[in-house]
């Protein structure tokens, strides 16, 4: 059964794009296990676009490129399952995938049957080359039905980029997660933009249909397909913290075979993973400090009564942020205060005069797991 929590795993696209093949996938799956990422919760190994031949086979079915995948997808799925991991693949609701390979328009039930026969557990479903007269909601509902009736439990990852009013209809399609934005790139500007795009769509995420902010760029360091110019370690920490507070699926995009220790520390941060994977999957809310989009204070109520409170400075200047207990639902007159620990540094924070505050350098954050205690 699919866990009703934000999915976690690794995807080929950010680093490798079309440069994928069987050995790379198997080596990356082994690295997911040996590095401790699997033990931290990362379980899906997902092949993105460019895995197929440019045309369907004589039987009308999608055909893996034999140069890239000489043993076929069933073999690959079996090897990945033997490692205790799950296997994911990619298609698209249009006539072609984004890279120009055959897609699933009007072949949804056939393709779902094919994927089930190969033993896949996850389908990323893109939005390129969609016929202008075809309603996206209808095409996604059709694939949702095809997957639900294919005889295998396959997680449906919708990737319509938030286009065509996706938030309004994605919950009707059977999708377990949905992309709310365009593609991420390994730059600070991209991270900031994707965070700020969440402000108006927070009510549409949560359990059963998680809001996917796109794959993680932590550890890319300017390398690979979307590498561009890279981010600082502080920016990667902020990026990962925001994704966890928003309850986004966590799909690693770096080359995990060559992951450095700092990247591993960020991706396996137990306090942040506990927030992302909190059993209640409560939606976050945002307090914009002084009404400024560059200073979001992101808050989530957690299953055990704790509060996750994140102070974020998205600006290019230092900033002093604060929030009152009253804004967080704490009644000062009932002699309650907040005490907590910062997820990266271990720094302790206690509310003073019914207020929490943080002083932040540019492009940094502080995230606290706060407990309500008696004064």
- Whether 375 has a pLDDT exceeding 90, the answer reads no
Give pLDDT tens digits for 309-364.
999 999 999 999 999 999 999 977 778 899 999 999 999 999 999 999 999 999 99
- Is position 126 annotated as part of the catalytic site? yes
Give pLDDT tens digits for 108-125.
999 999 999 999 999 999
Average predicted confidence (pLDDT) for the chain: 97
**Smallest Cα–Cα separation from 253: which of 300, 205, 291, 218?**
218
Strands 336-342 and 348-350, by their bridges, are antiparallel
pLDDT band at 5 (very low <50, low <70, confident <90, very high): very high
What's residue 314's pLDDT? Answer: 98
CA distance 305 to 81: 36
Cα–chain center distance at 152: 23
- Whether 1 has a pLDDT exceeding 80, the answer reads no
> Would you state the structure tokens that stand for residue 41, as one six-digit string?
């919760």
pLDDT band at 157 (very low <50, low <70, confident <90, very high): very high
pLDDT > 90 in the chain, percent: 95
In contact, 78 and 45? CB cutoff 8 Å: no
Q: Which of 65, 183, 293, 327 is catalytic?
A: 183
Give pLDDT tens digits for 224-250.
999 999 999 999 999 999 999 999 999
Q: Read off the pLDDT of each residue in 207-211 and give the average, rounded to a whole number.
A: 92
Q: Which of 48, 111, 126, 186 is catalytic?
A: 126
- Is position 164 annotated as part of the catalytic site? no
Angstrom distances, CA of residue 303 to CA of 170, 270, 275, 325: 26, 16, 10, 19
pTM above 0.75, yes or no: yes
């Amino acid at each position: 059964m699919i866990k009703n929590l934000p999915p976690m795993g690794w995807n080929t696209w950010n680093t490798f794009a079309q440069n994928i093949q069987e050995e790379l996938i198997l080596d990356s799956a082994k690295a997911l296990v040996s590095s401790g990422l699997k033990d931290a919760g990362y379980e899906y190994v997902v092949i993105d676009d460019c895995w197929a031949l440019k045309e369907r086979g004589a039987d009308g079915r999608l055909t893996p490129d034999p140069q890239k995948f000489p043993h076929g997808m069933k073999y690959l799925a079996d090897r990945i399952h033997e490692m205790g991991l799950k296997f994911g693949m990619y298609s698209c609701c249009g006539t072609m995938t984004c890279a120009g390979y055959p897609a699933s328009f009007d072949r949804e039930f056939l393709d779902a049957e094919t994927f089930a026969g190969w033993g896949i557990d996850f389908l990323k479903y893109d939005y390129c080359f969609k016929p202008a007269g075809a309603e996206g909601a209808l095409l996604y509902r059709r694939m949702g039905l095809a997957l639900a009736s294919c005889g295998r439990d396959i997680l449906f990852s919708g990737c319509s980029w938030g286009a065509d009013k996706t938030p309004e209809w994605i919950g009707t399609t059977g999708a377990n997660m949905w992309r709310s934005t365009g593609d991420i790139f390994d730059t600070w500007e991209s991270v900031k933009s994707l965070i700020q795009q969440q402000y108006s769509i927070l009510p549409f995420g949560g359990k059963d249909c998680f809001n996917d902010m796109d794959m993680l760029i932590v550890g890319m360091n300017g390398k690979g397909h979307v590498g561009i110019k890279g981010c600082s370690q502080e920016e990667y920490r902020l990026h990962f913290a925001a994704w966890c507070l928003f309850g986004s699926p966590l799909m690693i995009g770096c080359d995990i075979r060559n992951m450095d220790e700092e990247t591993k520390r960020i991706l396996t941060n137990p306090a942040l993973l506990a927030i992302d994977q909190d059993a209640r999957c409560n939606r976050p809310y945002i307090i914009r400090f002084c009404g400024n989009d560059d200073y979001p204070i992101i808050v989530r109520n957690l299953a055990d009564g704790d509060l996750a409170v994140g102070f974020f400075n998205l600006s290019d200047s230092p900033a002093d942020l604060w929030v009152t207990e009253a804004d967080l639902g704490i009644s000062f007159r009932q002699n309650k205060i907040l005490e907590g620990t910062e997820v990266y540094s271990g720094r302790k924070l206690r509310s003073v005069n019914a207020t929490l505050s943080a002083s932040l350098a540019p492009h940094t954050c502080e995230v606290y797991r706060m407990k309500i205690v008696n004064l």
